[in-house]
Structure 1
Amino acid sequence: MKDSFFRSMTWLHTWVGLLAIWLLLLIFFAGTISFFRHEITLWSQPGFHRSINPELPQQSQRTQLEHSLARLQQQAPHAASWSISPATTRQPFLYESYRLPAASGERRGKQVETYYDASALDTALTYQDSKGGNFFYRLHFDLHYLDVITARWLVCLASLFMLVALISGIVIHKRIFKDMFQLRGGKGVRTWLDAHNVSSVLALPFHLMITYTGLITLIFMLFPYPALTQFNGDFRAFFEAQNPTRAVTKASGEAVAMLPAPALLDQVYTRWPEVTLTRVILENPNDRNAVLKVYASNGTQIQDEKPVLKLSAVDGTLIAAANEQLSGGETFYDAMNALHAGRMAEPLLRWLFFGCGLLGCAMLASGAVMWAKRIRERMKTADSASFGLQLVESLNLATIMGLPLACCAFFYANRLLPSTVAGRSEKEILAFFLTWLACIIVASKRKDTTQWRRFALLNACCWALLPLVSALQIDTNLINAFMSGKTLLWAFDVVCFITAAVFGYQALHLRKHQLRTAWQLQTVRA
């Protein structure tokens, strides 16, 4: 019974892992990068780099808000809504936007966005069309080209497979603590098994947490029935009951003067004297039903939904408040969402999440390669590889080596595409997917050790040259970025060089392996 049980668990672990492993690699890869999505977005906007200046202190948050409200009152007094996001440490610029009233046949009006230097509030920053880190964030759960609902169902199923693989892996792992420190090189399949074990066990709490919380973030797709039953199939009513500030307030059409910006903000800071605001939205400006929504930062609290106030912009009275005190269920759900996204993470913890995400990618990659190598070892010399084995080997090469190369192509496109080109952000994304497609085509033709080494060399060269290309395009390099205290820019370059070094080491190791194998074959023949 014991042997049968462990065989069953081993079979389950192998096949639920293998069936979803390449989709999981994409999800893990994009999710890991997303821990630094704001930093990548800032890197992708050279016009914003002037705002990364520690020598010029930012204006106070209240000054930024008052200045923006006054400016929007002049620029767009009849807009449908205004939106302001004051500068933060990770987004050191002031964001303003207004939405025009919807024209006939339009669901929503045009959005007009502007970015300003937080130290000189009238200095507009040059924006170029780019998704930046938000591309990887959305790719993580929307898979970009797929229908949103279809994509999220696929991500749900992949996450369920991942959770089953993790639990069954723990069950079949008899020497879980001993294997944490055991990594033997040059042992073929045994080496890949060691790599799989080490990357799995070292970050096991993270793997379990990120998989389970990922399922919780999509819980209303998996289990919508309690909410649908309680609210007669109306999800909108459910979300408005959970957060009354989400209720839509329609314009009355009657023009009424609003409170001045200082008086309006006084109502907020009286209730929240020490608060840090992350976003301010004013709906129906200069209308009888003008309302102000303000969102507070959660800081390092493990809470996803931000506390929000909804005030009348005409007389300052409180209309609704939400997320100030959460129930037990809301606290659990919010904590799971915050943990998954790492929203509460300061830089050190964010790097820890990033490192654990890379270990997750290594766990998946080593598991996929180990399966293929194990089948190869069992084959006789005269046997030809089955279609399934060839497919797995091609997907391994295309995904493990192709995703980093596609990511690098995305960054090259960001620096090399002219800022005036139409649909620029979509062309950056197209560069990502076309590069990945090229890797898939090449991997389908040949997938031996030589091809792995070529991909490693290509990755090493591309990542090593990226900082140079970036410096030539934006006139900022690692040295002057370091000297001027622009940590983001020089840290990005350092990560590129480290990535290039890892792939360079891989290429060198594969070359040595090829030479050693060739020497052994010659010895046997002799």
Structure 2
Amino acid sequence: MKDSFFRSMTWLHTWVGLLFCWLLWLVFFAGTLSFFRQEITLWSKPELHQHSMVVQSAQQDLLDYGFNRLNSEAPDAARWWISLPSERNPLLRVSHLPYAQPGEKASWVNHNLAADSKTPITTRETKGGSFFYRLHFDLHYMDRTTARWIVCLASLFMLVALISGIVIHKRIFKDMFQFRTGKGSRSWLDGHNLSSVLALPFHLMITYTGLITLIFTLFPYPAQTVYEEGVKEFRKDFYPERQRPQQSHEALSTPAFAQSLDHFFTNWPEQPISRIIIDHPQDAAAVMKIYGANRSEIKDEQAVWIYSGKTGELLNTVHLEDSAAAQLYGGMIAMHTGRLASTGLRWLYFLCGLAGCAMIATGCVMWAKRIRERQKPTQPASFGLKLVESLNLAAIMGLPLATAAFFYANRLLPVGHSGRADQEVLAFFLTWAATALFAAKWRNQQGWRTLALVNALAWLLLPLCNALTTQGNLISYASKGQWALFMFDILTLLAAAVFFWQSNKLQSAPQTRPQRARTERAA
């Protein structure tokens, strides 16, 4: 009975993990990069690098400047938006949305300004770190709802794989200190166990909270039971700050925005502001929403103060004192996204995310290795084994190479080129597709070594490409204290070192069963 149970759990762990392992590799890889989403976006916009990364101006001064600019440039806009700089984003963004013509959709007009000098900055068009953030749960070139259902299903399988893995681990603590090299599939099993156990609490947390972030995709029924319009009406009730008032068509001669700000700074003097949004700024129905910065609080939604633009009266506060259920829900989302994290904790998130990538990658390779070792020397590989080996190579080696291509495209595409951001994404997927074609033909040890070398060269030369195409480099970043940019270059060099090490290991490793390889080529 006991042996049967463990065999069932082993079977479940193996096949549940294998079915979605390549998608989970993408989700974990892109999600790990997303912990430094803003830093990647900053690197992707070298036009910002010459400006101070430290915000020295008081928030009140920046807001006064933003209001004056919007009053002079867009007094009749439908919405105003002032986004204040932060430690991870040095820009002051002043934006307005014009009223749309019948049958048309209006577009935001954005002005990015240096927080220190308030001079306009024109940055290149790029998705930056937001590309990886959206990729890890919305995928790409796919309907958003369909993509989220696929990611939810993969996350459920991941949670089952983690729990079944814990069940079949009889020596879970011993596996933390055991790694045997040069033992074939046994070495891959040790690597799989080590990367799994070391960051196991993180893996469980990030998988479960990932499901919570999309909980209303999986389980909309409670909202449908309570609200007539289901999830849509629930979101209106839970996020009142996202609702826009109807225009009254009565002119607002003397807005009370200054009085509202005075009231806010008087009553919440220690609360930093992340942004201010004003609906219908020249209409009697105007509403000003002040969004507070969460700092390191374990919550996802920002506290919002909603003021009347006509009287300056505080109409409502949102997410200032949430219920216990809302705090639990928001806290789990904040834990998943890492928005609560300080710099040190964000690095811990990043390292645990890499451990998750290693766990998935070693599991993929180990399965194929075991099948290979169990076959007779003259036995040709099955279609399923060939497919798994090709997908392993395409995913594990192709995704880092595609990421490097994305960064090269950011530096090498013409700055003013139309549709530039989409072409960066296209470079990513074309590189990945080329790697997949390569893996379909050369999935043997030499193929792995070739792609390891290509990855190593791509990541090694990226800081040089950056230095040649911008005014910054590793030395200048260190001298100016631009540590986010400095660490980006350091991580590219570390990635290159890892791939060079892997290439050397593959070169020195003995070829596995050359007789079978010749049999496959003959077949």
TM value normalised by structure 2? 0.96
The answer on whether the counterparts of 1:69 and 1:261 sit within 8 Å (CA) in structure 2 is no
Q: Does the CA-based 8 Å contact 2:260-2:313 persist in structure 1? A: no
Q: Greater shift after overlay, 264-273 or 330-339?
A: 264-273
1:67 aligns with 2:57: no
Q: Does 1:259 align with 2:255?
A: yes
- 470, 475, 499: which one aligns with 2:471: 475
Q: Distance in 2 between matches of 1:88 and 1:395?
A: 41
Bigger shift: 78-87 or 479-488? Answer: 479-488
* Correspondence for 2:102: 104
* Corresponding letter in the other structure for 1:79: A
- Structure 2 CA distance for aligned equivalents of residues 261 and 16 of structure 1: 56
Amino acid at match of 2:472: T
Q: Corresponding residue for 1:48? A: 48
Q: What whole-Å deviation, never above 9, does each CA across 1:85-111 have from its counterpart, x for those lacking one?
A: 1110000110111111111212x3111
What residue in structure 1 maps to residue 324 of structure 2? Answer: 328
1:260, distance to aligned residue in structure 2 (A): 5.7
Aligned to 1:365: 361
3-state secondary structure, aligned to 2:112: strand
Cα pair 1:53 1:484 within 8 Å, conserved: no
Q: Residues 517 and 51 of structure 1: is their aligned pair in 2 closer, same or farther, counting only changes over 3 Å?
A: farther
SS, match of residue 320 in structure 1? strand
Deviations 1:161-198 (A, max 9, x none): 00000000000000000011101100000000000000
More divergent stretch after superposition (453-462 vs 249-258): 249-258
- Taking the aligned partners of 2:511 and 2:239, their CA distance within structure 1 comes to 65
Instruction: Choose the corresponding residue for 2:372, options 373, 376, 382.
Output: 376
Choose the corresponding residue for 2:495, options 499, 508, 513: 499
Matches within 5 A, 1:302-321: 302-321=298-317
What is the CA distance between 1:244 and its match in structure 2? Answer: 2.7
State the AA in 2 paired with 1:417.
L
How far apart, in 1, do the equivalents of 2:169 and 2:512 lie? 32
What CA distance in whole angstroms lies between the structure 2 residues aligned with 1:3 and 1:258? 79
Report the AA paired with residue 65 of structure 1. Answer: L
Report if aligned partners of 2:35, 2:346 keep a CA contact under 8 Å in 1: yes
Q: Judge conservation of contact 1:279–1:295 (CA < 8 Å) in 2.
A: yes
Looking at structure 1, the residues matched to 427 and 242 of structure 2 have their Cα atoms a distance apart, in angstroms, of 38
Distance 1:53 1:309, change over 3 A: closer
> Which residue in 2 is equivalent to 1:115?
112
Match of 2:485 in 1: 489
* Alpha-carbon offset, residue 516 of structure 1: 10
Aligned partners of 1:10 and 1:169 also within 8 Å: yes
1:38 is matched with 38
Contact (CA 8 Å) 1:245, 1:320: kept in 2 or not?
no
Counterpart contact for 1:97–1:111, Cα < 8 Å = yes
Query: Which deviates the most, 43-52 or 29-38?
Result: 43-52
Partner of 1:419: 415
Q: Where does residue 78 of structure 1 map in the other structure?
A: 76
Q: Secondary structure at the match of 1:51?
A: coil
Q: Shift of the alpha carbon at 1:383?
A: 0.7
Kindly indicate whether the alpha-carbon contact (under 8 Å) linking 2:24 and 2:154 is maintained by their aligned counterparts in 1.
yes
Deviation at 1:517, TM superposition (A): 8.7
Task: Measure how far apart 1:26 and its partner are.
Answer: 0.4
Identity %: 54
- Report the secondary structure of 2:509's partner residue: helix
Is the 2:274–2:291 contact (alpha carbons within 8 Å) kept by the matching residues of 1? yes
1:298 aligns with 2:297: no
Amino acid paired to 2:319: N
| Structure 2 unmatched ranges of 5 or more | 515-523
Equivalent position amino acid for 2:116 in 1: S
Give the SS at the match of 1:50.
Answer: coil
Give secondary structure in 2 for the equivalent of 1:68. Answer: helix
Which residue of structure 1 lines up, in the alignment, with residue 19 of structure 2? 19
1:181 is matched with which residue?
Answer: 177
**Preserved CA contact (<8 Å) 1:96 1:114:** yes
Q: How does 1:103-502 map to 2 (within 5 A)?
A: 103-106=101-104, 108-121=105-118, 123-259=119-255, 261-502=257-498
* Partner-residue secondary structure (3-state), 1:150: helix
Aligned amino acid, residue 224 of structure 1 = P
Question: TM-score, normalising length from structure 1?
Answer: 0.96
Q: Which residue of 2 aligns with 1:524?
A: none
Q: Is the 8 A contact 1:285 1:291 kept in 2?
A: yes
Tell me the SS of whatever aligns to 1:301: coil
Shift of residue 261, structure 1, vs aligned partner: 4.8
Q: Deviations over 1:119-144 (max 9, x none)?
A: 112x0112111000000000010001
Change (3 A) 1:53 1:91: closer
DSSP 3-state at the match of 2:20? helix
Contact 2:256–2:310, Cα closer than 8 Å, also in 1: no
Q: What is the Cα deviation at residue 257 of structure 1?
A: 2.4
Give the Cα separation in 1 of the matches to 2:319 and 2:335. Answer: 17
1:222-254 C-alpha deviation (Å, 9 max, x unpaired): 110111111113433212222333332011111
How big is each residue's C-alpha offset from its partner over 1:59-80, in whole Å with a ceiling of 9 and x where there is no partner?
Answer: 1111111110111011100111
Deviations 1:432-482 (A, max 9, x none): 000000000000011111110110000000000000001100121111111
Residue 220 (structure 1) shift: 0.5
- The equivalent residue for 2:93 is 95
Distance 1:245 1:470 in 2: 41
Taking the aligned partners of 2:135 and 2:302, their CA distance within structure 1 comes to 24
1:58 Cα offset (Å): 2.2
- For the pair 1:7 / 2:7, whether they are aligned, the reply is yes
1:371-429 deviation per Cα after TM superposition (whole angstroms, max 9, x unaligned): 00000001001111010000000000000000000000000000000011110000000
Rounded Cα–Cα distance in structure 2 between residues aligned with 1:71 and 1:314: 20
SS at match of 2:50: helix
Q: Give the deviation of 1:47 after TM superposition.
A: 1.1
Does the 8 A contact of 1:244 with 1:321 survive in 2?
A: no
Cα shift readout 1:6-52 (whole Å, capped 9, x = no counterpart): 00000000000000000000000000000000000011011111223
Distance 2:24 2:266 in 1: 47
Map Cα deviations across residues 267-322 of structure 1 (whole Å, 9 max, x no partner): 22233221111111011011111110111111111100111011111211122211
Counterpart Cα distance in 1 of 2:322 and 2:285: 28
More divergent stretch after superposition (437-446 vs 225-234): 225-234
Residues 222 and 515 from structure 1, CA distance in 2 versus in 1: closer, same or farther, beyond 3 angstroms? Answer: closer
Verify the 8 A CA contact 1:59 1:119 in the aligned structure 2: yes
